[in-house]
Structure 1
Amino acid sequence: MRLGARLAALLRAYPGIVYLRGDLGAGKTTLVRGLLRGLGYQGAVRSPTYTLIEPYEAVDPPVVHLDLYRLADPEELDYLGLRDLLERSALILIEWPERGAGALPPADLELLIEHAADQRRIRLKACPNWAPLLSALSVPLAGLENSD
């Protein structure tokens, strides 16, 4: 939740695509919840495991949260309107992006959430245009690592 709220402040200036990677229960949706709270969203934040897509229009920038865990084939993303989503100026958060391999554009930012003993380790990887975002996270949070 803390990292999500911290990212919210930084991502206001970086609408784009964020991949969220990690095992089941790693905390991907919790991070999204923290990010949305950081953007001022007060409503319920559900995992889009069954709906696949949850849009949040009442925040700036708008957020679209996708969970591709149940995606059977990357071609299904066409039926879900992926092209229309990508044309918007929004922050697009994608859990399980490997399920959409070949149909998804590259990420601007990738977060890998791993369990490490009784805490989580979070690794960040940004495209060159988003490198300033990583330097803005220079004050470390417990378990947060930057990678290039």
Structure 2
Amino acid sequence: MNDDAVDAILANLLRHVSETEPEGSISMTLSLPSGVVTGKLISATRWMREVAEMHKVDGEETPLSLFYADFAEEFANEDKNWSEASKYMENLPEDYQDAVRDQRPRLNYVHLREARFPFGAGIAPQAGGYWRGRASEVIGFTPGLLAYSAPEGARQV
């Protein structure tokens, strides 16, 4: 796939969740070359922070939790800088504003929480997890979560 070929609407949703609603989420289902993933789109900063928390053991930091926490802090600082810069960008023509915003590398990635992968007769993991993937690999998307009801007696993963 062409790394530059990120759907314009998806790119704006990534920008929105990162800049406008960093603590919010947008439910969506994504089509990828390898299948489908459904979950809640969140900012990269929130994703890193939540994954850092997930990797703590008995509330104590671990090398992996610290690894993700460092990224969360770096992303939070970048968000603050972009927020300040956006005040100045408002005076630029819209095309220039878009060109500057498109330089944010992490907006090229989709971050989902409660991510699940439908397959054959089921969906895994049942509770959902964290997923991160390149926005350029998204073939299509639909708002909302993919619902799945297991047939009676079916084994859940």
TM normalised by structure 1 equals 0.25
- Relative CO higher for 1 or 2, CA cutoff 8 Å, sep ≥ 6? 2
TM normalised by structure 2 equals 0.24
- Which of these two proteins has the greater Rg computed from alpha carbons? 2
